[in-house]
Structure formats: structure tokens, C-alpha cells
């Protein structure tokens, strides 16, 4: 049997993680996988997470199954965190999923079940695993223009021109904030135009929100998602707690749908739970319980928000430092976009060859599409990266 298997293409982000590990150089810089690192290069367990884990350890009396949807306090907490009342509660369905990726996978399966003929539109570029899962599920998909490699901003006219071709029932996947991989985001005014277009077309927006709190703040980063959710009849939201709670390996995500009315929301809830049952049965609980504990305890929540702000401001500081350094070295404002981008990533918009040159010459690991994880830097390494960028002729 096993001889019939074929080798699968390696994920470029995961491949890079491996290559970085096996590089013996001590001055190498890891700007690959989207994991937050503090200035010492450590991915810390957040204070509130530690405290919540202790509380759970002290009070939890059973590890029996929860429910197919997962812990209700977690779902309610996530609905509030992401949507904050933008949509009537009875129109919303939600389940716990194994990470944001689990939510995306379940969302695609739900789309396939409901409208197998639908095309899923993804931004060009997008997180590579979006495409990989769509291919794996054999779903129709196509790309819409998103990034302008000259300005390193959103090519909004190109995007709207492409989205003018969506058909009723098609699904348009949007990054709620902190676009991965580019770091370039729509303004709220542009979001309003997208909502109007999708509504006019009868298309369904699907929002991937994996970096809430990493861009402009917890509420600011959810504004676009809330605007979309409030502005359309139906919507799908895949949320992740991996980054903003720093609980990557706990696999904690949530899939939410917004239906036209309560009756359809019930149908959706049933399907979400059915999909959980088919794929893995009960969702993992530990991370979800940590999140629920934090969101429901004023002191823990305040501490979590404060630490998340520290993380966000550290990344913003690194962005400004890098943009300034490149301004100084090049005597141009060509790299000012780095300070304008938001979230963990910026795509500097260069060729895989130049990315490879920076790896070979300077030990800098960024994804071949020239995505760099800003959190992989610190005040000492920013000048080294700036020099490498200039040396490679980016």
C-alpha cells in the first residue's frame, strides 16, 4: 500500500524552519515562520497564560470530553473578542478548532458541502497553506490582485477590478488584519467598498483573522471583520489564538459563521459540529480553556492585553528602526513601507534569488517570496539586515 504514496511538495515556510536549524552559523537571523520572539529571541509563555494554567491546574476536576463545539465559555469569549456585538448573537454559530488552520480547513469543507460549485477567491499572494488546503480538497479557487510589488502597498484598483468578476455564491477570502505574507492592509474606507461590492455580487466573505492585536490594537484590528460581518447576509470567520495568546502548540482556533437568521444559524451550528466529529471529534481543550480563563477574569485579561501591547509595540519599534536604517543607507524613502505595514510580516518585494543571496552571504532567513518576520529581529540585528538588503541590491 504505502508504495503507492507520492512525495508531497514541502511547505516553503516549514522548509525554511528546517534549513535555519541546520545552519551552523551563530550569527544567522531567523525571519521565517510566524512566531513572536522577544528581543532575546525567546518565544515566551505570556504571564496571563501561565497564571491561567495554574488556575486550571488547581481547579480542574475532570478531563472528560467537553462538547463537539468545545468549551462554551471559549466560544462566547471569541465571538465577543472578534465581533463585539457587531452582529446579533442568534445569527452566529461557532466551534472550537485545532488552531486557525483547523478553522480554515473546516471552513473550506463547509463551503464544499454547502456550495460545491463555488469558487474561493484568495489574495495574490496569500498564506501558502490556504492554497495548499484548497488544492488538497480539490476545490475551485482563483486569485485576486492584492499586492503591488512596486509600491509594496495594496493594489486596490486591481483588487476591485478582479473582484468585479466574482459570481453569486463565490467565497472571497480576506485577511482581517495584518495581511500574511505582505503586511499591506486595506484602509477602513477600502473595506467599506469591498463590503458593498461583495454584497452587490451576492458573494460570501470569509475572513482569516490570525493576528488580532498585532497590528493597531485588539479592537482596531477587528474593526474590518466587524464591518464586513455587519454589512453582509452571510460570512465565515476563522480565528486563531496562536499568536495573540502565544499558545502556538496548543492548537487553539475558532470557526464562526454568520447566517441570515436564527434558523440558518442553527443549521450551520449543526454542520460545524458534524465536521468536527468527522475530522477529529472533540476539539482540543487546554488552549481554549486558557483563553476562556483569561477573557473571563478582569485581572488576567488586563495583564494579557498589557503584554500583547508590549509585543505589538516592540514590533512597531523594529519596523520604524529598520525603515530609518534603510533610509539612512540608501538615502531614499524606498523602504518606508516597512514602517507602514502592520503585523508580524512585511514582504519586501524582491526575487527568490536575492532572498537566497541574503541567506548565503549574511545568514538571513526569510521566506523565498521575500516575506520577513519582523519579530525575528532585535535592535542589534536590524542594522545587519538593513546592510544585507542593500548589499543584495533589493
Which stretches of the chain bind ligand LMR, using CB under 6 A?
Answer: 13, 33-34, 127, 129, 180
Kindly tell me which of 181 and 231 has the beta carbon lying closer to ligand LMR.
181
List Cβ<8 Å contacts ≥24 apart for 43-47.
43/246, 43/248, 44/246, 45/246, 46/245, 46/246, 46/304, 46/307, 46/308, 47/303, 47/304, 47/307
CA dist., res. 56 & res. 339, Å (int): 40
**Which of the following is catalytic: 222, 229, 243, 268?**
243
**Which of the following is catalytic: 69, 103, 184, 210?**
210
19 counts as catalytic: no
224 counts as catalytic: no
CA dist., res. 338 & res. 389, Å (int): 13
> Between the CA atoms of 361, 364, 365 and 366, what dihedral angle is there, to the nearest 10 degrees?
-110
**Which of the following is catalytic: 51, 107, 118, 127?**
127
User: Please, what is the minimum distance in Å from the beta carbon of residue 331 to ligand LMR?
Assistant: 33
User: Please, what is the minimum distance in Å from the beta carbon of residue 146 to ligand LMR?
Assistant: 16
User: Please, what is the minimum distance in Å from the beta carbon of residue 100 to ligand LMR?
Assistant: 7
Q: What is the DSSP letter of 202?
A: T
Quick check: helix, strand or coil at residue 320?
A: helix
Kindly tell me which of 129 and 378 has the beta carbon lying closer to ligand LMR.
129
Kindly tell me which of 124 and 296 has the beta carbon lying closer to ligand LMR.
124
User: Please, what is the minimum distance in Å from the beta carbon of residue 301 to ligand LMR?
Assistant: 25
Kindly tell me which of 343 and 349 has the beta carbon lying closer to ligand LMR.
343
User: Please, what is the minimum distance in Å from the beta carbon of residue 391 to ligand LMR?
Assistant: 25
88 counts as catalytic: no
Residue whose C-beta lies closest to ligand LMR: 34
Kindly tell me which of 70 and 183 has the beta carbon lying closer to ligand LMR.
183
Buried b or exposed e, range 184-216, using 16+ CB within 10 angstroms: bbbeeeebeebbebbeebebbbbbbbbbbbbbb
Buried b or exposed e, range 162-172, using 16+ CB within 10 angstroms: bbeebeebbbb
243 counts as catalytic: yes
Q: Which residues belong to the active site?
A: 127, 208, 210, 243
Amino acid at each position: 500500500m504505502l508504495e503507492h504514496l507520492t512525495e508531497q511538495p514541502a511547505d516553503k515556510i516549514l522548509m525554511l524552519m528546517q534549513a535555519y536549524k541546520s545552519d551552523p552559523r551563530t550569527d544567522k537571523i531567523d525571519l521565517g515562520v510566524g512566531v513572536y520572539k522577544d528581543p532575546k529571541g525567546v518565544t515566551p509563555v505570556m504571564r496571563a497564560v501561565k497564571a491561567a494554567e495554574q488556575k486550571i491546574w488547581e481547579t480542574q476536576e475532570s478531563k472528560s470530553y467537553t462538547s463537539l463545539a468545545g468549551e462554551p465559555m471559549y466560544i462566547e469569549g471569541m465571538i465577543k473578542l472578534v465581533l463585539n456585538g457587531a452582529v446579533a448573537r442568534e445569527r452566529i454559530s461557532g466551534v472550537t478548532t485545532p488552531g486557525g488552520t483547523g478553522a480554515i480547513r473546516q471552513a473550506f469543507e463547509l463551503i464544499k458541502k454547502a456550495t460545491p460549485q463555488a469558487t474561493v477567491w484568495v489574495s495574490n499572494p496569500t498564506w501558502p497553506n490556504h492554497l495548499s488546503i484548497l488544492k488538497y480538497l480539490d476545490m475551485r479557487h482563483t486569485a485576486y490582485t492584492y499586492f503591488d510589488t512596486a509600491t509594496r502597498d495594496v493594489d486596490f484598483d486591481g483588487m476591485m477590478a478582479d473582484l468585479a468578476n466574482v459570481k453569486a455564491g463565490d467565497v472571497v477570502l480576506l485577511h482581517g488584519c495584518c495581511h500574511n505574507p505582505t503586511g499591506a492592509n486595506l484602509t477602513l474606507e477600502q473595506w467599506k467598498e469591498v463590503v458593498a461590492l461583495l454584497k452587490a455580487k451576492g458573494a460570501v466573505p470569509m475572513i482569516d483573522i490570525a493576528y488580532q492585536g498585532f497590528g493597531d490594537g485588539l479592537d482596531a484590528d477587528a474593526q474590518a471583520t466587524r464591518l464586513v460581518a455587519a454589512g453582509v447576509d452571510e460570512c465565515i470567520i476563522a480565528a486563531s489564538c496562536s499568536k495573540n495568546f502565544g499558545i502556538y502548540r496548543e492548537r487553539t482556533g475558532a470557526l464562526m459563521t454568520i447566517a441570515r437568521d436564527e434558523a440558518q444559524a442553527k443549521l450551520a451550528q449543526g454542520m460545524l459540529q458534524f465536521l468536527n466529529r468527522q475530522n477529529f471529534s472533540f476539539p482540543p481543550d487546554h488552549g481554549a480553556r486558557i483563553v476562556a480563563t483569561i477573557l473571563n477574569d478582569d485581572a488576567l485579561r488586563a495583564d494579557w492585553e498589557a503584554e500583547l501591547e508590549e509585543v505589538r509595540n516592540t514590533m512597531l519599534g523594529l519596523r520604524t528602526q529598520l525603515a530609518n536604517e534603510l533610509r539612512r543607507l540608501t538615502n531614499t524613502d524606498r523602504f518606508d513601507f516597512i514602517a507602514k505595514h502592520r503585523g508580524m510580516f512585511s514582504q519586501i518585494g524582491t526575487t527568490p534569488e536575492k532572498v537566497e543571496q541574503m541567506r548565503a552571504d549574511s545568514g538571513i532567513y526569510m521566506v523565498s517570496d521575500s516575506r520577513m518576520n519582523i519579530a525575528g529581529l532585535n535592535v542589534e540585528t536590524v542594522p545587519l539586515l538593513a546592510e544585507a538588503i542593500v548589499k543584495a541590491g533589493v
